[in-house]
């Protein structure tokens, strides 16, 4: 009898301890959001949320299966892992999931993005993000360009949207990606495929459901003072203005090879061929390109980038990341 009582008491104590142990771990769920923010930094790499995504034809699609699986996976982990291992595992899963989506986007882009199409895709980035201004709550990298293709300043961009749409349809069949993310990654890949720097792009932007206000893009006819003021309103310094202008090194504006992303743009700016009477040389560049080499502050950076391609690549990469993040609204974890 005594032995039976002791055994019962022992089992009761063990059960209580076990129950207490599992109750201790459940509050971890309430910390999940902050944990993923620490691991993934402010809503990056959201692999597949339940956010509504619109494609160019207006179709609405949702993707919540991965989120549900993720929650189910997280719900079973406390019974399998110590707390510190659970923290590491959930964070790793979030990063792994986002990285998988990022690689999928790059893979599909590689099938449709050629050097000849790179300049148009990169231009798409500037025209989507270029509507942002710091003192307004609208504009920026939000995919609204798909509603703005009839505007005169966006002439020719329908072709670039169609290039990305081919890749986007393949990705959407697995888990929808926003136009904002698609364009941001597409521009980075356009730079890379032409020999420029590799630019990491965070995922998780939300799309706008309407066009941005008109008249927000920098005008091609602005002089240097006007360009600097325009970019300042968007949060960019003169250095970043000059670095981003280097995107004109690819395409048909006459700065070296149209499919080679290098520092030829700055070297040719210093030569000022538009001042020559030698035929087509007057057709090189836009008035805004000519303007920055006439400004002392801009000229300092033009000269530096003409002499140091690595510096240009690094500064362009940083300015590009800033450009595709400006004005973006992000998915919540």
Contact criterion met (CB below 8 Å) for 116 and 180: no
In this structure, what token pair is assigned to residue 307?
């002499």
Q: Which residues are catalytic?
A: 127
CB proximity list for 103: less than 8 A, separation 6 or greater: none
């Amino acid at each position: 009898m005594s032995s039976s009582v002791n055994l019962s008491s022992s089992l009761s104590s063990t059960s209580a301890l076990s129950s207490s142990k599992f109750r201790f771990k459940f509050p971890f769920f309430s910390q999940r959001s902050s944990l993923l923010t620490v691991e993934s930094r402010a809503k990056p790499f959201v692999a597949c949320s339940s956010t509504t995504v619109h494609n160019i034809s207006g179709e609405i699609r949702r993707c919540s299966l991965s989120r549900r699986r993720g929650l189910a996976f997280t719900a079973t982990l406390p019974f399998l892992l110590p707390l510190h291992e659970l923290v590491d595992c959930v964070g790793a899963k979030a990063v792994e999931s986002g990285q998988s989506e990022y690689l999928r986007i790059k893979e599909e882009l590689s099938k449709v993005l050629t050097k000849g199409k790179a300049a148009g895709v990169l231009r798409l980035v500037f025209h989507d993000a270029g509507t942002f201004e710091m003192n307004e709550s609208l504009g920026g990298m939000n995919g609204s360009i798909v509603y703005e293709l009839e505007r005169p300043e966006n002439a020719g961009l329908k072709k670039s949207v169609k290039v990305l749409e081919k890749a986007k349809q393949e990705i959407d069949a697995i888990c929808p990606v926003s136009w904002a993310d698609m364009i941001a990654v597409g521009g980075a890949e356009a730079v890379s495929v032409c020999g420029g720097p590799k630019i990491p792009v965070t995922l998780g932007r939300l799309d706008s459901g309407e066009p941005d206000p008109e008249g927000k893009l920098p005008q091609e006819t602005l002089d240097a003072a006007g360009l600097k003021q325009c970019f300042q309103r968007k949060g960019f310094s003169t250095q970043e203005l000059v670095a981003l202008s280097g995107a004109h090194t690819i395409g048909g504006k006459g700065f070296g090879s149209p499919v080679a992303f290098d520092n030829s743009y700055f070297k040719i700016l210093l030569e000022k061929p538009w001042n020559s009477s030698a035929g087509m040389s007057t057709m090189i560049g836009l008035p805004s390109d000519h303007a920055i080499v006439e400004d002392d502050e801009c000229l300092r950076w033009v000269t530096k980038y003409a002499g140091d391609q690595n510096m240009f690549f690094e500064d362009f990469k940083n300015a590009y990341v800033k450009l595709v993040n400006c004005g973006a609204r992000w998915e919540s974890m």
